[in-house]
Amino acid sequence: MLTLTSIWTTVLLAAAVALGPLATDMYLPALPQIGSDFGTGTDQVQLTLSLYMAGFAIAQLICGPLADRFGRKPIMIGGMVLFALASVGCAFATNIETLIACRFLQALGGSAGPVLGRAAIRDIYTPREAAKILAILASMMALAPAVAPTIGGFLVAGMGWSSIFIVLALYALLMAGVVAFGIPEPMKAEYRQPLRLCNLVGNYRQIGTDVSFLGYTLTNALIFSGLFAFLSGSSFVLIDFLGVEPQHFGLYFAGIVIGYISGNLTAVRLSRNLVPDQILVRGLLIAVAGGVSMAGLAMAEVYSPWAVIIPQAVFMAGTGMVLPQTMAGALANFPRMAGSASALFGFVQMAVAAMAGALVGHLHDGTSLVMSVIIAGCACASLASYLLFVKRNPAPGFEPQGASA
């Protein structure tokens, strides 16, 4: 069993938390084929993503308080087992309705990893240390979406889209074993919360009325929605509209992951001299530049995979700087209820992202325009949220005395 502050604990937490990104990114190259096999339109296929995110959001409100009562490990292990069973159901689905239902169940189990991974980092580290560790963890996690679409593309080409869900089920069971036998319980016994309805409502009220929490959470949710808008529309834009082969989709997707990792590593390097809010605002400006550039190219009818990938890589570099800071900032005030705070944070993040993904599917016009405009809008809205809320209410230790971010 590893020590809590070991780098290998962070590595194993990243591998466990990566289950969430894998569940979306690995099957992106399969979306057009799923629509073709089931004879459904883009909007119906998009529901397998949007309702997954909705289930992900709802489940976090449940697993967060459960983890504050029983600890992080048992809830994470149970969630991964449920994820594995639902993945098998997805693999054997015979119609789009069954696939959507199993994806929803998959989300209920898969939500335990990210929400409890964030909480575990807050259990172990101080808020400012947590921002740095979350950036490192995010860089490790980015390896999953870097390789997942490529693996998914080859699985689709070689064995069909159902094989993707079998691989996901096996990975979930492996990670359940890793968490059970490799990672100590990070939650202090004295921080355990009673599992009573009045206590849960009181905790959520306290968290949800904290202006600092709301500012960081909304800023995060909006920038994450731009990322999810790309996940929702990229396979249809790149494969159907721009003619990229499914097995090559992952190679293009790797470009945006490189951007994300670059942002994470830049945030770690900047943390030596800057406080998290200063890193945050710089990341937001970079994300806005990438999103607006992509929308401008689409409006000018510059249709090329690189007119999508390069601006999105810039957007993702900014996002890689923003996400760790907003996660740590949102949880900074709640060391005794980090599970519940992480759950509410994740609920808002996923709910807003699900709406953005549904909007992409509903308005998709067969080109890159709709996706690009929504990404740009999310980036601009996230910057506005920072200026209106976060800048005025920074988390403790996130802004230097006598200076603004």
Give residue-wise pLDDT tens across range 231-270.
Answer: 888 888 998 899 988 778 878 888 888 898 899 889 989 9
Write down the pLDDT at residue 139: 64
pLDDT at 405 over 50: no
Mean pLDDT within 300-329: 94
Give residue-wise pLDDT tens across range 268-277.
Answer: 899 888 989 9
Q: CA quadruple 251, 253, 256, 260: dihedral positive or negative?
A: negative
Q: Which of 305, 329, 309, 318 is nearest to 378 (CA)?
A: 318
Cα 155 from Cα 22, distance rounded (Å): 14
Mean pLDDT within 175-191: 83
Question: Do residues 260 and 142 make contact, with C-beta atoms less than 8 angstroms apart?
Answer: yes
In 204-220, which positions are buried (b, 16+ CB within 10 angstroms) versus exposed (e)? beebeebebbbbbbbbb
Mean pLDDT within 355-374: 90
Instruction: Kindly state whether residue 405 falls inside one of the protein's structural domains.
Output: no
Give residue-wise pLDDT tens across range 325-344.
Answer: 998 899 888 887 877 888 89
Instruction: Kindly state whether residue 402 falls inside one of the protein's structural domains.
Output: no
% of the chain residues with pLDDT over 90: 39
User: Structural domain tally of the chain?
Assistant: 1
Instruction: Kindly state whether residue 74 falls inside one of the protein's structural domains.
Output: yes
Instruction: Kindly state whether residue 398 falls inside one of the protein's structural domains.
Output: no
Write down the pLDDT at residue 314: 97
Instruction: Kindly state whether residue 396 falls inside one of the protein's structural domains.
Output: no
pLDDT at 85 over 80: yes
Q: Containing domain of residue 343, as a range?
A: 7-390
Instruction: Kindly state whether residue 403 falls inside one of the protein's structural domains.
Output: no
Instruction: Kindly state whether residue 269 falls inside one of the protein's structural domains.
Output: yes
Write down the pLDDT at residue 119: 77
Instruction: Kindly state whether residue 197 falls inside one of the protein's structural domains.
Output: yes
CATH number for the domain harbouring residue 282? 1.20.1250.20
